[in-house]
A and B are shown apart, each in its own frame.
Chain A
Amino acid sequence: MSFFESLRDKAVTTISLLIERKDSDGVSPDELFCRQHRLPLGEKVLNQSAVEVGYLADSTKAAYRTNSYPQGKVYLTPHFLVFQDIYDGRSCLFVLHLSAIKKVERLPASSYGFALGIHTHSHINVKLYLVGLRSESELFSSQLMGALQSNKPQAKNMAFFVQTCYSEYLLAKNHVPSAETVNQVPASGLGLTFGYPGNLRELRDRSKMKLWFDLFRADGRNLSLIKTPTFAKLVRVGLPNRLRGEIWELNCGSMYMRIDHKDEYEKLLTDNENKHSIAVEEISKDLYRSLPEYAAYQDPEGIERLRRVLVAYSWKNPDIGYCQAMNIVTAALLIYMSEEQAFWCLNTLCDRIIPGYYSKTMYGTLLDQRVFESLVEQTMPVLWNHITKHDIQLSVISLPWFLCLYLTSMPLIFAFRILDVFFMEGPTTLFRVALAILKINGEELIKTTDDGTFIQILKKYFTSLDQRSEPSSTNPKNAQRTKFMDLFLVAFREFSVITDEMVEKHRTKHRNTVFGNISQFVKRTELRNLPRIANLSNDDVSSIYDRFYSIVRQQITVSGGSSFMEFELFTIFMSQICDFIDPEPTDDNTFQKQERFLKRLFEHWCSEDSSKLSLKDLVIGLNKLIEPDLLTSISNFFALYCENGKVDREGILTISEDLLFITLPWEMGKLHDALTATAIENAIADKICEQQEAVGVSNQDPIPIPSNIDIDKEKIESMQIERYLSAASTFIQRAFEYAQPHEEDVLISDLPVDHKLSHNAALNPRLPVFLNLPTFRMVILADETYELLFSSTIRGSIHIDTPTDGFDPMRNLRDMFDGLLADGREVAKKVRRRMDSAAHPGQLSSDNSSLKSRKSSKSHIEDDDDRDDDFSAIDIDESEKDFLFAAEVQALADPVSSKTDDSRHLRQFHDIRTDTQHSSKKANDNLIDFD
């Protein structure tokens, strides 16, 4: 199901985003510089110098335009020369693309000492008077020469690029002497053929055009434009239709992408021609639903342009692909821009200006809605209180404003005016306008108590933007003012206090909450789609999810994202939750055994591809591993080894080795199993009893648990070690004893009573033998320690709820012991029982026998240790009864006390492959007589 897959991807991207975000908190100065001047990311400041700047256009007869030479700093990057005056660029700023520089010359030394004359393609002569040590100025100048030299190949694009700029065409058409030759109207937006929205006369398009014409001649254009306050003013009064596209791309910086990635757009389209994707499908569904009221979008020409730009972007950035609302934004761009311009502008928009708005989780949208709410709270507290009091969902209402850049909320001509400013000033524009909308309608809004009326008021307001705000005013200027002008004024004057820094600050504040909510949503969705799981609680599955992604994501940053777990990561996962898996085994032998066992689990758990584990696979696998039902647990384990229901000689040896590996922590006494735990409790209880009797406390009093008590732990531990060694040897011995010859289909119940005979036959390496499930079960159940292993020990050693960070898998003995005392209840119970039985000697204490006669092992330390045979609690197959009976008999013969030799044995079993005969012979001595 693609939905769930994509949600899984979402989870991964959300998490990786969180990580990336963390890193980006420390944005490098170079990156900040690029963002500030809209340069392509990756530009680095090579050198900088204090300067005074003078400039003169060939076409203007006047002397250098300003008497005062702007002072500031000039920065050199590999592809740009950037000047910013000391007023943060407010009175003079330029970004010269090196490709637009025709000539640089050293000017004759004046009082300034060092000056460079720069001639740009738009025939502007810029003088840079470098201030500073001469040697430094020399260095700057030589680095500039170097950069120009390296940029030469790219500078070749310039001739072609000039032909794509309407500004150049405008000058050429009007016979400006210094203009380039541009004979053809540059590729442009749909407006050229289908008309532009709005009334040209009302928009004063011609006069605006004239102003820009003058500006281009005096201050240059496109890649070598010198921005003065006039530039910003002209943008704010609204761009003329034909220049709108070019100024947009210049202001947002996508123009630099377009010149430096010539042909990439076409190439994306041809490379991916006829290819299908979900995004491509979604795009075609929405083509006729994008600004349908504009004529071009009922025409194949417009529809195809829209399709191509959206499709090209979906291939360029598959992480985003296509999001509804992009169709509307792109449709709007294409009215004023050529396909290639719109494509790069869309790129810049999605990736840099409003990152995350259209991503798979739309985290940017959600985050900015949160930011908007807190800005409302900060700037209009009364309205905000009203909104929260009546639970009006402001962010729901404002979301489409931001997502569609007001294009669907207000008449297009007004939305474009906002876009003019937006491309120049960035996302603060969206906030300023949104705040102004609320402010202007505040008086009415504060009367509403529900979302419906709130929305109604705003809808009405948007449709009335062209109306006069004070038609009856005696002041003719005021009488002319439209509601839109008011909105503009409030937004960019009153709310100019909303700055990039402020927005960024609020984003930082809310980022974690918003990301947290998204992750939770994604997690909920993914967990909900897992199959039903018997042995794992919701919390368990939730922990597995967290751990899965916390481990997988470490890989994402390196290899670019996957929601599957490969074997190495699986090992890490298991080592975090499993007592018997060591994250870094020190000796090779253990390492190999561990790897082999884990590989077996891994391959059995993988459902699709045997090299990758999905979250679902993992959950299903773990569910099996911690199966509480004894018989199911044994058969789950057997299933890991069997083929066609059988395990052959080789398999038997593997099982016994793996069992030895799994039980290593208990074999070495690092962990206690239930039997040992009980023994320790008993020992403590005995000790306390002794002490109590010594002081003569009555058995009615509460039992005080001493904080420290001295028992012979070592003895109990060595008993456990012995038990495990014995279990291992007994296992292999019985496995071969009851393994069946291959050919005969002997029913187990018909096994010859003379097992000495069959046993010997089985041991003959030339005679093929196999173990089936019933036999395997019998062999396991015949040994108390191994039975316990499957009923509780393994399960108890897997800690799914371990916190995801920082975890020590080996809880040492000391902790365990302290834990018992700290809890104390169990010990208290035992002491009470002892004291009771002392008071009533007729009642036999079963404490000692509990070590020997535990049959079913569902029980843990916390269970009553006076247990009966509780076979009834286990669902027993009729046919298994015989074997269980046999096992019971077996269990009654005390395996611990019958043990003779120990550690030597263990070592032998580690090398069991080479020494089967020998060890089995040895174990022979321990055979139990069934008669």
Chain B
Amino acid sequence: MSFAPSTTSVKLVLLGEAAVGKSSLVLRFVSNDFQENKEPTIGAAFLTQKCTVGDRTIKYEIWDTAGQERFASLAPMYYRNAQAALVVYDITKPASFIKARHWVKELHEQASKDITIALVGNKYDLVADDNDSDDSLRKVSMEEGKALAEEEGLLFFETSAKSSHNVNEVFVAIGSKIPEAKPVTEELGSRPGNVGRIDLSGPALRSNLSDCAC
């Protein structure tokens, strides 16, 4: 009873300090576009995008959250039931890296146990040309990022929403780490009007599935 290609829905949340480029990464991934003066996100924005990983299609349900400090206490609403998270920092802003560390810990303590997290150092285009000179704009080294990722068991990428460097790679890498969801036939029958839909698993259902998958 295998469908080819199977589609998996993945709830993904973006977290990170204000103006590190969360919305820009999403915009690049979803519309392959970039805006110089992007409006700040208030509360959260929701977008979807499909992405092919190997032989299956993943439909990302993306929650792009607000970075302003005081919105942090709303974050638990957004990462609830998330299967994947991008924790984004700006490689030219050390403070944003400290905050990324904070978010990783928060997710490990509070989010679903099997959440896949990618640590993303954004705005790579700003440092791409300089060769580690002292006055480089880069303030967070790649090693620091890697070290944190290893310590906490995260995927790690340096990206640029502006040049689109590594952006798709992040989402593909996450996709290939997400366990495949099995289509559930009984559910199909119990919900009329849903017959044509491939994506039939709400987040609650999905977490059940991933439990039995392992």
Q: Which residues of A contact B200 (CB under 8 A)?
A: 449
Say whether B99 contacts A524, CB under 8 Å: no
Q: Does B141 contact A (CB under 8 A)?
A: no
* A285-B19, A450-B9 as given contacts; A524 in contact with B106, CB under 8 Å: yes
Question: Which among B68-76, B83-91, B129-137, B150-158 touches the partner chain?
Answer: B68-76
**Shortest CB–CB separation between residue B209 and chain A, in angstroms?**
14
Contacts of B174-214 to chain A: CB distance below 8 A: 191, 193-194, 197, 199-200, 202-204
Q: Does A54 contact B (CB under 8 A)?
A: no
Q: Does A390 contact B (CB under 8 A)?
A: yes
Q: Does B142 contact A (CB under 8 A)?
A: no
**Shortest CB–CB separation between residue B120 and chain A, in angstroms?**
19
* A450-B199, A522-B73 as given contacts; A391 in contact with B98, CB under 8 Å: no
Say whether B70 contacts A450, CB under 8 Å: no
Say whether A362 contacts B73, CB under 8 Å: yes
Say whether A450 contacts B61, CB under 8 Å: yes
Say whether B77 contacts A395, CB under 8 Å: yes
Q: Which residues of B contact A362 (CB under 8 A)?
A: 70-71, 73-74
**Shortest CB–CB separation between residue B15 and chain A, in angstroms?**
13
Say whether B71 contacts A324, CB under 8 Å: yes
Question: How long is the Cα–Cα vector from A447 to B202 in the complex, in angstroms?
Answer: 13
Q: Which residues of A contact B68 (CB under 8 A)?
A: 282, 323-324
Question: Which among A164-172, A286-294, A632-640, A823-831 touches the partner chain?
Answer: A286-294
A361 contact from B39, B43, B48, B70, Cβ within 8 A: B70
Q: Which residues of B contact A365 (CB under 8 A)?
A: 74
10 A-B pairs closest in CB distance: A391-B204, A390-B202, A289-B39, A400-B43, A399-B43, A324-B68, A452-B48, A521-B73, A455-B46, A360-B70
- Chain A contact residue count (CB 8 A cutoff): 48
Which of A288, A292, A455 has its CB near the most chain B CB atoms (within 10 A)? Answer: A455
**Shortest CB–CB separation between residue A643 and chain B, in angstroms?**
36
Contacts of B17-61 to chain A: CB distance below 8 A: 18-19, 37, 39-40, 42-44, 46, 48, 61
When C-beta atoms are compared, the residue in chain B nearest to A1 turns out to be B98
When C-beta atoms are compared, the residue in chain A nearest to B68 turns out to be A324
Question: How long is the Cα–Cα vector from A324 to B37 in the complex, in angstroms?
Answer: 16
* A328-B42, A455-B46, A529-B102 as given contacts; A393 in contact with B80, CB under 8 Å: yes
Q: Which residues of A contact B77 (CB under 8 A)?
A: 393, 395-396
Known contacts A400-B43, A450-B202; 17 further A-B pairs (Cβ under 8 A): A1-B95, A3-B95, A282-B68, A285-B19, A289-B40, A292-B39, A323-B70, A324-B66, A359-B70, A360-B70, A395-B77, A399-B44, A403-B43, A447-B193, A450-B9, A524-B109, A528-B105
**Shortest CB–CB separation between residue A446 and chain B, in angstroms?**
10
Say whether B74 contacts A399, CB under 8 Å: yes
- Can you list 23 pairs linking A and B with CB atoms under 8 Å apart? A3-B95, A7-B72, A288-B37, A289-B40, A323-B68, A324-B40, A328-B42, A358-B70, A360-B70, A361-B73, A396-B44, A396-B63, A399-B44, A449-B202, A450-B199, A451-B61, A452-B61, A455-B46, A518-B73, A521-B72, A521-B73, A522-B73, A528-B105
Q: Which residues of B contact A393 (CB under 8 A)?
A: 77, 80
Contacts of A274-289 to chain B: CB distance below 8 A: 282, 285-286, 288-289
Question: How long is the Cα–Cα vector from A528 to B73 in the complex, in angstroms?
Answer: 15
Q: Which residues of A contact B66 (CB under 8 A)?
A: 324
Question: How long is the Cα–Cα vector from A734 to B191 in the complex, in angstroms?
Answer: 86
**Shortest CB–CB separation between residue A637 and chain B, in angstroms?**
34
Question: How long is the Cα–Cα vector from A455 to B64 in the complex, in angstroms?
Answer: 14
Question: How long is the Cα–Cα vector from A835 to B74 in the complex, in angstroms?
Answer: 64
Indicate with 1 or 0, residue by residue over A622-653, a CB within 8 angstroms of chain B CB atoms. Answer: 00000000000000000000000000000000
Say whether B202 contacts A400, CB under 8 Å: no
Question: How long is the Cα–Cα vector from A422 to B2 in the complex, in angstroms?
Answer: 54
When C-beta atoms are compared, the residue in chain A nearest to B80 turns out to be A393
Say whether A528 contacts B71, CB under 8 Å: no
Indicate with 1 or 0, residue by residue over B81-121, a CB within 8 angstroms of chain A CB atoms. Answer: 10000000000000100110010011001100000000000
Say whether A525 contacts B39, CB under 8 Å: no
Q: Does A758 contact B (CB under 8 A)?
A: no
* A447-B193, A452-B46 as given contacts; A517 in contact with B76, CB under 8 Å: yes
Q: Does A366 contact B (CB under 8 A)?
A: yes
Q: Does B78 contact A (CB under 8 A)?
A: yes
- Chain B contact residue count (CB 8 A cutoff): 43
Say whether B78 contacts A396, CB under 8 Å: yes
Q: Does A6 contact B (CB under 8 A)?
A: yes
Q: Does A408 contact B (CB under 8 A)?
A: yes
Say whether A449 contacts B194, CB under 8 Å: yes
Q: Main secondary structure on chain A at its contact with chain B?
A: helix
Q: Does A404 contact B (CB under 8 A)?
A: yes
Q: Which residues of A contact B71 (CB under 8 A)?
A: 324, 362
Contacts of A391-445 to chain B: CB distance below 8 A: 391-393, 395-397, 399-400, 403-404, 408
Question: How long is the Cα–Cα vector from A3 to B18 in the complex, in angstroms?
Answer: 12
When C-beta atoms are compared, the residue in chain A nearest to B39 turns out to be A289
Which residues of chain B have a CB within 8 Å of any CB of chain A?
9, 18-19, 37, 39-40, 42-44, 46, 48, 61, 63, 66, 68-74, 76-78, 80-81, 95, 98-99, 102, 105-106, 109-110, 191, 193-194, 197, 199-200, 202-204
* A390-B204, A517-B76 as given contacts; A286 in contact with B40, CB under 8 Å: yes
Q: Which residues of A contact B19 (CB under 8 A)?
A: 285
B99 contact from A3, A288, A392, Cβ within 8 A: A3
When C-beta atoms are compared, the residue in chain B nearest to A323 turns out to be B70
Question: How long is the Cα–Cα vector from A396 to B199 in the complex, in angstroms?
Answer: 21
Question: How long is the Cα–Cα vector from A323 to B69 in the complex, in angstroms?
Answer: 9
Which residues of chain A have a CB within 8 Å of any CB of chain B?
1, 3, 6-7, 10, 282, 285-286, 288-289, 292, 323-325, 328, 358-362, 365-366, 390-393, 395-397, 399-400, 403-404, 408, 447, 449-452, 455, 517-518, 521-522, 524-525, 528-529
Q: Which residues of A contact B63 (CB under 8 A)?
A: 396
When C-beta atoms are compared, the residue in chain A nearest to B76 turns out to be A521
When C-beta atoms are compared, the residue in chain A nearest to B204 turns out to be A391
Say whether B81 contacts A391, CB under 8 Å: yes
When C-beta atoms are compared, the residue in chain A nearest to B75 turns out to be A521
Question: How long is the Cα–Cα vector from A359 to B71 in the complex, in angstroms?
Answer: 10
**Shortest CB–CB separation between residue A9 and chain B, in angstroms?**
11
Say whether B199 contacts A525, CB under 8 Å: no
B46 contact from A391, A408, A451, A525, Cβ within 8 A: A451
Q: Which residues of A contact B194 (CB under 8 A)?
A: 449
* A361-B70, A518-B73 as given contacts; A396 in contact with B105, CB under 8 Å: no
A6 contact from B48, B69, B204, Cβ within 8 A: B69
When C-beta atoms are compared, the residue in chain B nearest to A365 turns out to be B74
Question: How long is the Cα–Cα vector from A397 to B18 in the complex, in angstroms?
Answer: 20
Say whether A366 contacts B102, CB under 8 Å: no
When C-beta atoms are compared, the residue in chain A nearest to B200 turns out to be A449
Question: How long is the Cα–Cα vector from A452 to B50 in the complex, in angstroms?
Answer: 13
Q: Which residues of A contact B70 (CB under 8 A)?
A: 10, 323, 358-362
Which of A3, A285, A324, A403 has its CB near the most chain B CB atoms (within 10 A)? Answer: A324
B203 contact from A6, A366, A391, A396, Cβ within 8 A: A391
Say whether B109 contacts A366, CB under 8 Å: no
Q: Which residues of A contact B102 (CB under 8 A)?
A: 3, 525, 528-529
When C-beta atoms are compared, the residue in chain B nearest to A396 turns out to be B77
Say whether A325 contacts B202, CB under 8 Å: no
Question: How long is the Cα–Cα vector from A528 to B63 in the complex, in angstroms?
Answer: 25
Say whether B61 contacts A391, CB under 8 Å: no
Question: How long is the Cα–Cα vector from A404 to B66 in the complex, in angstroms?
Answer: 14
When C-beta atoms are compared, the residue in chain B nearest to A454 turns out to be B46
When C-beta atoms are compared, the residue in chain B nearest to A398 turns out to be B43
When C-beta atoms are compared, the residue in chain B nearest to A320 turns out to be B70
Which of A292, A325, A450, A517 has its CB near the most chain B CB atoms (within 10 A)? Answer: A450
Q: Which residues of B contact A451 (CB under 8 A)?
A: 46, 61
Q: Which residues of A contact B48 (CB under 8 A)?
A: 452
Question: How long is the Cα–Cα vector from A335 to B18 in the complex, in angstroms?
Answer: 28
Say whether B42 contacts A404, CB under 8 Å: yes
Question: How long is the Cα–Cα vector from A425 to B27 in the complex, in angstroms?
Answer: 39
**Shortest CB–CB separation between residue A378 and chain B, in angstroms?**
21
Question: How long is the Cα–Cα vector from A452 to B11 in the complex, in angstroms?
Answer: 10
When C-beta atoms are compared, the residue in chain A nearest to B66 turns out to be A324
